[in-house]
Each structure stands twice: as C-alpha cells, then as structure tokens.
Structure 1
C-alpha cells in the first residue's frame, strides 16, 4: 500500500502519519527504524557513502533516484562541516547530528549518511549553511564563485536524501503498482485537466483497492483511513 499525494509539502506532512500507522509509537522515537522501507528522493552520490564509491551502481553515484531500500541497521552520526572547508569567519559552522543507515536493495548493500529529517534542528542548520553558500557563490560571480559552488555541491552530496516509501508523489509513483492506494486530497486540483491527469495516475497505481479522502473530514473517518492503511501495510 502507498499514500499518493501531489506536492512535496503534502508528502512531508503525511509521512509522520504513515510512519505511525506502520510502526506505532516507535515512529516518534526515531526518524528511521530497522526494517523500514525507504526510497531515494534524489540520486545518492559517493560522498554520502561510508563504504566508498566502489560499492555503488555507477562512478560517483552509489544509488539512483527513486530506488527502494530496506534499512538493516541505523546509528547516530555527527558531521562537522568544518571538515568541508567551512570557516567561522563566514558565519556559524554547525556540527550536524544525523544518522548512518545500513541499507540493502537486492544484492546491493550500502552504509549511508542520511540527510537530517525535515523539521529537525540539524536540518535547519544544514539548510541555513546551504542557503548561505548559494548566496555567497552568486555574489562572487561566475569566476569567483566556482570554488564556493564546489563546496556547496560537496556538502549537498555528503547526505543521502531518503524518505519513507509509504508516501509518494504522483510523479514518483508513475510506472509502479501497489495493492492499495490512498489518494491524498491535494491530488484533486481546481484545474479540471490537471485534476483528471493526476487522478488517473494515482488511481491506476492500485491493483486491489483505492481509498480517497476529502480536504476535511470527521475524526472517525480519518481514524478509519489510518486504520485501513496500517492494516494494508501489515499485509503487504
């Protein structure tokens, strides 16, 4: 089963609900759990791998975009951005508190440094540094900004962008099929042509059943929606 939505904002909002439905109270204790199925939001580059680039799928890239992996183990990790050449002279240089996850996809086994979860203090610090580097590179111009851009991309690629596979955007769900699909309300756009296209893609992902929910509903209906999603995930 999968929840399918339209925007990344909706995805970020739905992920905690999906994780609680699947993992119960443990979902609120850790952002990633052993046994959890994750999907790569973007390609995972060699700097994010703790095993070296030789374990990856391609040179410089260890895992392609939109690939599902199973978490085998997870442990805390710290990443000091001073090690990437940042200087306190240019602003606050944080130590990013994140996780290192051992994951597998078929015969491929990797240990990846994960991007901090959305909403966390570590993610806020990382985003602030990335925004600062972007602005510095732009202000430095085409020639003067090259070294800053290199630093920017090195830090960006040092963290793997993985998220729970239980919630997907319509775009990422294309080409896949699932037992049951739960269609989030933001799929039903006000523009009829866009709504028709999104609805078709979302509904046609399902093999056995489709659940839809409006923008507002009673607590009892919302609870039934969560209960059915949890049951479908346990029986997948």
Structure 2
C-alpha cells in the first residue's frame, strides 16, 4: 500500500469552466491527470485529494466529476476546497460518493497505521490578503482541525493532516494551524490551493518535525505525488 496526493483537479464535466484560461498547462488537464494517475497508482493505493475537486455548484452537477475520479485506481480521501460550492451537508456528500471514496469533515480516517485528519483551512493572519473579516472563518477552521485530530484513532502511529489552504501565510509565520499540528504530533501536512505565481509561497520540506507537501495538480505537473510507500521508506 502506498499513499499519494493530488489536489485541485478543478473538474467541470457538467459545467462550462475550461481551465486553460489560466494557462496552457491546463489544456485538457483531466486527460493528463488520468494518464499520470493510471501509470502511478494501483488499486491497493490511496490518494489524498485536498479540495477544489469540482466547479459544480450543485450536487447533481458534481456527479460526473466524482465518477471520473471514482473510475481511477485506488481509494480516495477528499476534503472541501474554497471552490467546492457543491459540497452540501456531509451526509449528502457521502451519499453520492463512488465506492472507495471518503469525505472528511470534522473527523478522520485510518489508513494502515496513519490517521488522516483534515479541514478546508483559510487565509492566515499576517498574510497580504488577510483582513479582520477573515478572522472568524480562520478561527473556526483552526477549531475544526483540532476537532478532526481529536477524532483520530488513538492506536494510529502517525497523524497526517489534509488542508486545502496552506497552513501558514506567504511569509511562513506561525499560525493556529501549525500550533494545533505541533500539539497533536502531526508528521505530515498535505495542502493545495496555490497556483501559478503562488507556488513560490509554498511551505515545503520539514518544519518542527512536520513534512509539508504542496499537492496542487499544476504544481505537480498533474502527476500524483508519492508520499509514503516503497520508494519513500
């Protein structure tokens, strides 16, 4: 069993939202994702998808996007991104998921010896785009991350976190997300959200014993990133 990550697929099979308006690298990007995914991922593997799954606005519109991912090999774990407007109550979301796809919201899932926890996240204080209108959402998301970590199976040997937003601002200053992760002994944090010029602001590598990975699909060349498996142990 291996664990991969690939975020921000921004699928739109039922709505007219071509991604190539954001650059030529996005041209026919679902085909790029499928080809790279099928080459890398086996049925026994897991793929973490940290949000911005679909441009759909309603549940009925997201079905073909979820079905596209569902047909790909492996088991998938998803969280909500800032553009996942289709994401309704968690019971309704889980009710339309394909087999072997799991949605996290204020809870966790155990994969082998790893408890994977997660929440959407938000802009962090001190960042260029942060204002006081953000603070309520930011504080709520920090609380949701802690709730998810509290839910983690106590027998798990590791705790991993999935966020959609980066866990810090572009200056890499301390944040509530980082504080919670340190407090609960998190070893891996996977996130997305950053595109284009935003890639240069990514927090990567290890900090305070936590390994950070940017999994936005354009950053990864639309190829799933191997985080844990034969090649990483």
**Could you tell me the TM-score, scaled by structure 1's length?**
0.27
Q: More relative contact order in 1 or in 2 (CA 8 Å, sep 6+)?
A: 1
Q: Which has the larger radius of gyration?
A: 1
**Could you tell me the TM-score, scaled by structure 2's length?**
0.27
More strand by share: 1
More helix by share: 1
